[in-house]
Structure 1
Amino acid sequence: MAALPFRDINVQTASDSYIFSSPSSPNAPALTIDRPTGDIRLSDASLLAGKRVSRVTSIAGILGMIRLRLDQYIVVITKAKPVGRLRGHTVYKVVATELLPLRERQVHDPDEDSFLSLLRNFIKSGPMYFSYAVDLTNSVQRQAQHDGESPLWKRADDRFFWNRYLQSDLIDFRNQGARGHPAPQPAIDPYILPVIFGMLEIHPTTFKGTPLTLALITRRSRHRAGTRYFTRGLDDEGHAANYNETEQILILNDSASGLGGFAGSSSAPGTQRNNAGAEGKDLQILSYVQTRGSVPAYWAEVNTLKYTPKVQIRTIEAALPAARAHFEEQIRIYGDNYLVNLVNQKGRELPVKQAYEQVVDQLVTNPQERVQGDQLTDEKFHTIETGGGKPPGGRSIFDRLHYVYFDFHAETKGLQMHRAQLLIDRMHEALLAQQYFRAAEMPGGNRIGGQLEVRSLQTSVVRSNCMDCLDRTNVVQSMLARWTLDRMFTDLGLLARGARFADEDAAFEFLFRNMWADNADVVSTAYSGTGAMKTDLTRLGKRTKGGALQDGNVAVTRYWRNNFLDGPRQDAYDLFLGAYQVPAGGGGIGAASFVFADRRPVWIQSIPYIAAFGFFFVLLATYTPRLPDAAVWPLRIVTLFWAAVSVWSVYFIFSHGMLYVNWPKLNPRPWATEGYHQTISRVRKDKILGPLVARHERGLSTARYINAEEGKKRIE
């Protein structure tokens, strides 16, 4: 029997430890985390019954542990909301968490407070889901191929195990034991709870009177996760920015109904349920998987407060090792990859398109390129496939890549969104060969959820992208999901061949559209900070003028957030996922490091405030009534002066935009550091601010030297 996570955990808070135990499993050992060392051990729960504690709290699970500058914290899930059931087992959304400190902090530390604020805001806003019995990190097809007897966290897909870094202390203890007593500790498995980040909706519904469950799950990869302009392309390990796996699941004859709380029996170990489903029929589960991810090359867009940032692309030769690693993993997991590229073939997006095609040309054997155009565009489609004939060295694994470029913007210009169907028509044969996963659930002995008897497998995947992998990508993914759902209903006998479910059941069509529009908003919010564009097409099936106006509002909001608010959001991603790890010791209590301090010269920082004051003064002078005998010209001169100062300040800000972008502070981007120094060099030559900035920097250097000497004396 697999060791599933505990559904009910009590936390006993003592002066020297936190003790975690499950009331429903009194014979299971208690997890004890010592204070303030953070040492982990397993203890007999009955021996701890008389221990003096200050409070006892019931939690839904342990999200993990994280070490910050001055202390280590245990992150626990204090409230979770049931969102639906998959194969009879409840799925939950994380609603509230609490950070339990290992020591009582007596001093105020600005960096520690900033770290805690980042974590709390990130967890509060991040859509995270978990289940005590269902492996949400893996698609249904991968679940069918895994050993159901291993612990849930061991079955988890490392890419989508969102709290893997936070769980690393518990996992290390499980694998290696305590210091001085090295031995595996499998009894800790029920305390390790994997969580996914993304979108999850489960809807029990009907189609033409047939009961079924429709679910949509988008899993966001924890590798190279972050915000829109600060994470693009690949990293050195081949992880793509904004990588998401989306799975559409259809379940028939699932007899489970209702939503249970933490102590519900539907997900408890050893529970058997009626696998025959409704009216004695086998439970059938069908799923279709797609992926999206940034263009697999080394590229970035450099924020300078311009609406369209400048694109920077490194050489293809430099990116090839990372691209190989990326596609080796994709082919190993999914089989053939159909690479649907939706970026523009003109303007600033053209170099990104060309970089993608050069990567594919370098990877596949004897690449054969075909370009198709028409009266609208010279390049409606551009495909790259491996050439015919067997090369001397044999076939390469990368010959399973199939590149398909579609000029989405040119084809759908003028609200002609129906023309995106041309891409589906072009890929018709590949989609037929791709299949989808289909299985029936059979009685599985002690296995939770029963054994899946596989009827068909999905043999390939469509990997879609545009510049952000958001708006255009979601439109195309929803169209592919619709095409496959029509095929599923036809194969199930619920739809006549050639018919479409949209024409047969209006209520189901409405549900489908809104699920995919919700998916677009969730993925977009995580990456860009706003909801998606073009959701009117997804929700209503057509492009509208109201939707176009809403897209304009989204574009302005994205500009503001991506330039002025995304730095802390990126820092929160890096902190939660372990991309940035706070140095051990942190300099000691009271020795603040000011990681988040604004290190720009004071005069640079003051320019926006000067501009704001100038505009305020001009408005005040313009609209404030004057006394009849008041002098006019002095006020006009002062008003004109401040108007000129405001205009100059705004000009200065946009001329030196890199100095005013809110950059990440924990993991500075190389192009940002380089651009900052170049911009500061230009500012030093400015006739007005140059001397002031240079004087500030000399004074700052002297102050840093004096502070360093004083700090050295204090330490001694």
Structure 2
Amino acid sequence: MAALFRDINYHVSTSHYAFTSPSSPSAPTLIIDRPTGDVRLNDGTSLGGKRVSSIAGILGMIKLRLDKYIIVITKAQPMGRLKGHMVYKIIATEFLPLRERPLHDQDEDMYLALLKRLIKSGPMYFSYSFDITNTFQRQSKSDPSTPMWKRADDRFFWNKFIQSDLIDFRTSGARHQHGQQPGADPYILPVIFGMLEIVQTRIKSTPLTMVLITRRSRHRAGTRYFSRGIDEQGHVANFNETEQIIILNDSMSGLGGFAGGGGMQNGKVGGSGGKEVQIMSYVQTRGSVPVYWAEVNTLHYTPRLQIRGVETAVSAARAHFDEQIKLYGDNYLVNLVNQKGREKRVKEAYEQMIKMLVSSPTEGTQQDQVSDEKFRIVEPDGRRSEMDQLHYVYFDFHNETKGLQWHRAQLLLDQLHDALERQQYFRGVDMPADLDGRLEVRNSQTSVVRTNCMDCLDRTNVVQSMLARWALNRQLTDLGVLSRGETFTSDNDFEILFRKLWADNADVVSKSYSGTGALKTDFTRTGQRTKAGALQDLNNSISRYAKNNFADGPRQDAFDLFLGTYLPSTSSNLVFADRRPILVQSIPYVLAFAVFLVSVGTLSRRPPNSLVWPIRIFILAWVLVAAWCFNFIYSNGMLYVNWPKLNPRPWATEGVNEALGKVRKDKVVGSFVGAHERGLSTARFLNAEEGKKRIE
């Protein structure tokens, strides 16, 4: 297998960009012609260029409205070694335009700004010699001689769409170079989006490496209220796979050593002190409830919940769970939504879906003084079909942990105890004589716990950290590091590290979806629910409200652009223009002006002999204007949500048009608002469909 190039120089000329590896002078040069973007390989030295720069890798290529750009990684931060393979985090990138003098227009500039903001804020990781898109268990079944981009898990190959030009060239060639082009393999760099931390530590004097990786799926990726439920292909929103890894007798971790220096085989440092290198991993998943549902922003704190008929989503849910069962085996579906209030409809829809999927479902409920329905279990009666590997477990998390009684979440682990015992975990032993780094598999994980709440964030994080704690105690006991009945809480330093890793994971997953850190992380970090933590949760909740209503539209547009679910059109123009009626656009400004005048009139010092009543009337008049403006905005909130503009949501289009119809009937302003539709044209759904076909 050709290893990925760690050192790449790119040469700039008026006719092309040339990419070479100084450490591999005999390797072919990758040429990308300007301005066409045609890709080819050139044997021998690179063609001349005016400027030479060093980069860490090629993130991909993307075509926007007027030009195509090569996105290169200019700075990467080492995060640590996994079995001797260095893992990096992307810190900085650069966009290389194919035109000598790029044309500027408003949409093109906005596209670039969205992409740059996403890449800068999104935690993305890669390795030149280790496949971080796959769990250790999946890696043990793959062929290490296959190029890394082919082995990569399609769900977590985050930059696959923007690598499609290089992948197409590799698999099919170009006009003047037909057939497969294996010389392009070292340039195709898979990247994951999520969380990755590698820490060297010890427990009870036993040194080990602790690793936590969360991989976010590129399918149906997006923001909290603009990406919910399931799509027709069976992809659910906010799907994340979290792998907790411990490595014993690993002398190859840490940040020491040069990633491309001597004594390495494919980037792997040799030698482990003679002892077997033990790798143990435990995998969990999370994902949105797999039915067609949405929460519609209206500027109210609680969005409006929409659930389409469960029957229409059966084929999509079957496709989703078919993939999950093939990948993970039995799925234990832990549902943590509330059994009362608005969340009840989501709970009932999920349960109805499971009953429709499994054959001969049997139900059981448990209740106590705290909750009318503490648990609800839906199990298949036997194994007549593949879907009978689904096991639904509802836990009334809200009622059971109410009043800061978070220790009662342990009840869920007690309920799952037998399933967790059967589930096992992955255990492999490094084979020093194997230059490809294969593991000898001693044990495999046979099932997975798939956890969800409404957002798959806060409650989910708490439960996942508890499951990870249970699995880690079991692994350390099986290794003999802990004695029977002992837990790692006896080692205070390791306990603090474990809590920090899982709290960091909670914050990263939450920030990428909701825009803020997770709630309830005080419990994850300290093991206790505190009043200070509750105040922090209040702050995060207010921030979420503001971001979800006024900032998530552009974030969703950035996801759609980067992942290829929207393809910029050369014919459309001013996609991001605000097409609401001028009067509707102006009301927030009138409100701000009214608040300003009321503040000035109230706080300004008046001369002693000045008349009071004119000032009071003036202030009262503007208070009434401000109150009317505020009421108008709040009553017609859908007109003021910052919606995604590239792939308009159908329910958003319907809601905005309905709100405009309501405004036209308003006795005060209706005559000033003509027949008008906001710029949420359904014609742009064609671009969304074209993008879906492209990434397929």
Q: Residues 21 and 45 of structure 1 are in contact (CA less than 8 Å); yes or no, is this contact kept in structure 2? A: no
Name 1:364's counterpart in structure 2: 358
Aligned-pair distance for 1:699? 14
Q: Does 2:546 match 1:552?
A: no
Q: What aligned pairs does 1:287-326 form with structure 2 within 5 A after superposition?
A: 287-326=281-320
Name 2:367's counterpart in structure 1: 373
Name 1:477's counterpart in structure 2: 464
Q: Does 2:164 match 1:168?
A: yes
Aligned-pair distance for 1:688? 1.2
Name 2:554's counterpart in structure 1: 568
Q: Does 2:504 match 1:518?
A: yes
Q: Distance in 2 between matches of 1:62 and 1:300?
A: 36
Q: Residues 264 and 270 of structure 2 are in contact (CA less than 8 Å); yes or no, is this contact kept in structure 1? A: no
Name 1:413's counterpart in structure 2: 402
Q: Residues 128 and 267 of structure 2 are in contact (CA less than 8 Å); yes or no, is this contact kept in structure 1? A: no
Which consecutive unaligned segments of at least 5 residues does structure 1 have? 701-716
Q: Report the secondary structure of 2:111's partner residue.
A: helix
Name 1:25's counterpart in structure 2: 24
Q: Does 2:526 match 1:540?
A: yes
Q: Report the secondary structure of 2:674's partner residue.
A: helix
**Counterpart residue identity of residue 489, structure 1:** L
Q: What aligned pairs does 1:140-159 form with structure 2 within 5 A after superposition?
A: 140-159=136-155
1:355-408, Cα deviation, whole Å (9 max, x unpaired): 1000100000100010100011110000000124x7xxxx11000000000000
Q: Residues 536 and 544 of structure 1 are in contact (CA less than 8 Å); yes or no, is this contact kept in structure 2? A: yes
Aligned-pair distance for 1:259? 2.1
Aligned-pair distance for 1:266? 7.4
Aligned-pair distance for 1:173? 0.3
**Counterpart residue identity of residue 669, structure 2:** L
1:31-57, Cα deviation, whole Å (9 max, x unpaired): 0000000000000232x3xx4422100
Q: Mean alpha-carbon deviation: is it higher for 241-250 or for 180-189?
A: 180-189
Q: Does 2:225 match 1:239?
A: no
Aligned-pair distance for 1:271? 5.9
Q: Residues 90 and 260 of structure 1 are in contact (CA less than 8 Å); yes or no, is this contact kept in structure 2? A: no
Q: Mean alpha-carbon deviation: is it higher for 638-647 or for 327-336?
A: 638-647
Q: Residues 657 and 677 of structure 2 are in contact (CA less than 8 Å); yes or no, is this contact kept in structure 1? A: no
Q: Does 2:615 match 1:635?
A: yes
**Counterpart residue identity of residue 431, structure 1:** L
Aligned-pair distance for 1:636? 2.0
Q: Distance in 2 between matches of 1:265 and 1:369?
A: 60
Q: Residues 84 and 267 of structure 2 are in contact (CA less than 8 Å); yes or no, is this contact kept in structure 1? A: no
Q: Residues 525 and 531 of structure 1 are in contact (CA less than 8 Å); yes or no, is this contact kept in structure 2? A: yes
Q: Residues 129 and 268 of structure 2 are in contact (CA less than 8 Å); yes or no, is this contact kept in structure 1? A: no
**Counterpart residue identity of residue 613, structure 1:** F
Q: Distance in 2 between matches of 1:113 and 1:659?
A: 25
1:558-599, Cα deviation, whole Å (9 max, x unpaired): 00000001000000000001011112xx13xxxx70000001
Q: Distance in 2 between matches of 1:461 and 1:661?
A: 38
Aligned-pair distance for 1:644? 0.2
Name 2:115's counterpart in structure 1: 119
1:494-548, Cα deviation, whole Å (9 max, x unpaired): 1111111112x10000000000000000000000000000000000011101001
Q: Does 2:380 match 1:386?
A: yes
Q: Residues 90 and 267 of structure 1 are in contact (CA less than 8 Å); yes or no, is this contact kept in structure 2? A: no
1:14-37, Cα deviation, whole Å (9 max, x unpaired): 110000000000000000000000
Which of 627, 648, 651 is the matching residue for 1:647? 627
**Counterpart residue identity of residue 551, structure 2:** L
Name 2:446's counterpart in structure 1: 459
Aligned-pair distance for 1:66? 0.1
Q: Distance in 2 between matches of 1:207 and 1:629?
A: 79
Aligned-pair distance for 1:698? 11
Name 1:713's counterpart in structure 2: none
**Counterpart residue identity of residue 90, structure 2:** V
Which of 619, 629, 633 is the matching residue for 2:599? 619
Q: Report the secondary structure of 2:601's partner residue.
A: helix
Q: Residues 129 and 267 of structure 2 are in contact (CA less than 8 Å); yes or no, is this contact kept in structure 1? A: no
Q: Distance in 2 between matches of 1:271 and 1:668?
A: 45
1:434-473, Cα deviation, whole Å (9 max, x unpaired): 00000100035441xx220000000000000000000000
**Counterpart residue identity of residue 402, structure 1:** H
Q: Residues 246 and 281 of structure 2 are in contact (CA less than 8 Å); yes or no, is this contact kept in structure 1? A: yes
Name the CA shift for 1:6/1:106 in 2 (closer, same or farther; >3 Å).
closer
**Counterpart residue identity of residue 406, structure 2:** M
Q: Distance in 1 between matches of 2:113 and 2:403?
A: 45
Aligned-pair distance for 1:328? 0.1
Q: Does 2:493 match 1:507?
A: yes
Name 1:423's counterpart in structure 2: 412
Aligned-pair distance for 1:265? 2.7
Q: Report the secondary structure of 1:518's partner residue.
A: helix
Q: Distance in 1 between matches of 2:492 and 2:608?
A: 70
Which of 648, 660, 665 is the matching residue for 2:645? 665
Aligned-pair distance for 1:634? 2.4
Q: Residues 82 and 261 of structure 1 are in contact (CA less than 8 Å); yes or no, is this contact kept in structure 2? A: no
Q: Report the secondary structure of 1:205's partner residue.
A: strand
Structure 1 runs (4+) deviating above 4 angstroms are 260-263, 266-273, 697-700
Name the CA shift for 1:646/1:34 in 2 (closer, same or farther; >3 Å).
same
Which of 338, 345, 349 is the matching residue for 1:344? 338
Name 2:276's counterpart in structure 1: 282
Aligned-pair distance for 1:273? 4.3
Q: Distance in 2 between matches of 1:110 and 1:699?
A: 19
Q: Does 2:184 match 1:188?
A: yes
Q: Residues 283 and 441 of structure 1 are in contact (CA less than 8 Å); yes or no, is this contact kept in structure 2? A: yes
Q: Distance in 2 between matches of 1:272 and 1:74?
A: 29
Q: Residues 90 and 266 of structure 1 are in contact (CA less than 8 Å); yes or no, is this contact kept in structure 2? A: no
Q: Does 2:426 match 1:437?
A: yes
1:262-309, Cα deviation, whole Å (9 max, x unpaired): 75337955566445x23x211010000000000010000000001111
**Counterpart residue identity of residue 229, structure 2:** G
Q: Distance in 2 between matches of 1:690 and 1:200?
A: 54
Q: Report the secondary structure of 1:141's partner residue.
A: helix
**Counterpart residue identity of residue 16, structure 1:** S
Q: Does 2:164 match 1:177?
A: no
Q: Residues 255 and 274 of structure 1 are in contact (CA less than 8 Å); yes or no, is this contact kept in structure 2? A: no
Q: Residues 82 and 260 of structure 1 are in contact (CA less than 8 Å); yes or no, is this contact kept in structure 2? A: no
Q: Report the secondary structure of 1:218's partner residue.
A: strand
Aligned-pair distance for 1:135? 0.3
Q: Mean alpha-carbon deviation: is it higher for 142-151 or for 258-267?
A: 258-267
**Counterpart residue identity of residue 641, structure 1:** A
Aligned-pair distance for 1:257? 4.4
Which consecutive unaligned segments of at least 5 residues does structure 2 have? 680-696
Name the CA shift for 1:127/1:42 in 2 (closer, same or farther; >3 Å).
same
Q: Distance in 2 between matches of 1:462 and 1:377?
A: 23
Q: Distance in 1 between matches of 2:204 and 2:678?
A: 76
- TM-score for the superposition, normalised by structure 2: 0.96
Which of 647, 662, 669 is the matching residue for 1:682? 662
Aligned-pair distance for 1:108? 2.9
Q: Distance in 2 between matches of 1:654 and 1:261?
A: 59
Name the CA shift for 1:266/1:595 in 2 (closer, same or farther; >3 Å).
farther
Q: Residues 4 and 269 of structure 1 are in contact (CA less than 8 Å); yes or no, is this contact kept in structure 2? A: no
CA RMSD of aligned residues (A): 1.6
Aligned-pair distance for 1:142? 0.2
Q: Does 2:510 match 1:531?
A: no
Q: Mean alpha-carbon deviation: is it higher for 490-499 or for 620-629?
A: 620-629
Name 2:586's counterpart in structure 1: 606
Name 1:704's counterpart in structure 2: none
Which of 168, 186, 194 is the matching residue for 1:198? 194
